[in-house]
Amino acid sequence: MDKAAAQQADEAERDTSPVLALESFLPYRLNLVSETVSQAFASLYETQFGIARPEWRVIALLGQYGELTAKTIGERSAMHKTKVSRAVAALEKRKLVIRTPNPDDMRESFVDLAPDGLAIYEAIVPQALAFTKALQDSLSAAQREALDDTLDRIMERVKTLRQ
């Protein structure tokens, strides 16, 4: 087969192959929305407090639940253990969290907010709630309820697809 014939065969095969339009691919769209929203909110706490997203997630979880292990932080935030470890180390270096060894398992420690970390949490929470409200203001009550339901359904479905 000559080069022109091979090229025609390749083009014919491409014409019959399914095409993925990335901009309508649901995982891509969800990621794009998530990333865009996260970046917009991150600009608030990065500018005010000099903390990155993983650090904010650790602070937010500790503010919500109190003392947690790094493993639990990773599970609740869907962050990889390495990212959690780095975030906790950075926060500890800035004296925003306190680590306490677990007397029952010396391989892990408990992490909790230090007074300065709690102050940051308390300063960011009203901004986070206002940011959420600003996003939701573009939706009717029925749309907000439908969005919550849709996100819950997608999360449940993903769990079954991962198995």
In the predicted model, what is the mean pLDDT of residues 83-109? 93
Would you state the structure tokens that stand for residue 37, as one six-digit string?
């929203």
Beta bridge partners of residue 113, listed in sequence order: 97
State the pLDDT confidence band at 10, using cuts at 50, 70 and 90: low
pLDDT confidence band for 116 (50 / 70 / 90): very high
Give the integer Cα–Cα distance in Å for 51 and 59.
10
Q: Where are the domains of the chain?
A: 53-126
Asked if the 53-126 domain carries CATH number 1.10.10.10, the reply is yes
Confidence of residue 41 (pLDDT cuts 50, 70, 90): very high
* Continuous H helices in 50-140: 53-65, 70-77, 81-93, 115-136
Closest CA to 114 of 86, 85, 92: 92
pLDDT bin (cut points 50, 70, 90) of residue 105 is: confident
Measured in degrees and rounded to the nearest 5, phi and psi for residue 94 equal -90, 5
